[in-house]
Structure 1
Amino acid sequence: MSDGKVISFKAKREENIEKKRRSFERVVFQNLLGAYSVIDADSTVYPVTLVDISHDGCLFQIPWSPTSDKKLAIGSEMKMRMYFTKKSYIPVILKIRYGNEFQGDDGQTYMHYGCEFDKSMSSFKAMEEFISFMYSFAEHSVIDHGDARSYFI
């Protein structure tokens, strides 16, 4: 009768939480949190798109043309501004750990960079709390299926 498979409810729950977290991150990154990078060499500020964030680091992408763009060096540091309003941001320092070309769903080629946060910066405390909120939200949030009625409009 039984095929000997044991279902791990904990693993399934963690998988569902991770899916919710990534979905929530996409909404936050696209609608709330702007990220701009500052390259130390010439202080150029340009937008990057955050893909993922964790307590240890983040993954971001930039449009990529292998013929004209230069890769960021593995091990190099860069400054990033995490904007929460049009004019206020939290500065973080990232160390580039890897870079890979990536083909987006839109057909565009991007470079994905995996980075590690410099946790010694005093401003990282705010980022750490924001990241903790995102994890907690994914774990405890409930999906609205439209079943609640509003009586006070």
Structure 2
Amino acid sequence: MADIWGRMGRTMEVSEDGRVLTKKAGGNYARHVAAQEVLSSGVHTWEVELTSGATSNNNRDVFIGVATPGCDVEKGDHHAKGKAWYLRTHDGHIYGGDLEVEDAAMKGKHFLAGDRVGVRLDCNDGSLRFYKNGEPLGEQFPAGTIPTPVVRAVELKCPGQCVTLLPEVQLV
């Protein structure tokens, strides 16, 4: 996969091979990072590993999914502005469009460092599905909810949080 994290703010650092992304500095505010490749047709699958939580408290609250091209990299919470569709690793729910879910009982218990978040985007029907360690999660964005074009995207919140884009996988 030739895809790399191509758009990021000044508090982010990307590895030489373009796959490992770390929030190096700043406060505990979400910051947007986008891949270079624009996705507008076909089916695309990828996995992101939660490599590490925050340095201070191991916080693993990260958003992973897709966003419209051109979102401000120095800001976050683009899902609340109708510009991003994410799985939130802190609670395992989807955020974006009209499908946001809150469940305080799950806060902080859903994904751990080392877990993989799989993403399956079908640009042809506008659906987005998520996986945990290769197994489908229940919530998804159904057909017709994801407008294209979009880019792969994450939002990291706390310094020390790190994710790794893994080689492309097949997710059904």
TM-score of the two chains, using structure 1 as the length reference: 0.30
The structure carrying a bigger strand percent of its residues is 2
Higher RCO, 1 vs 2 (CA within 8 Å, ≥6 residues apart):
2
- Structure with higher helix content: 1
> TM-score, normalization: structure 2?
0.28
- Structure exhibiting the larger radius of gyration computed from Cα positions: 1
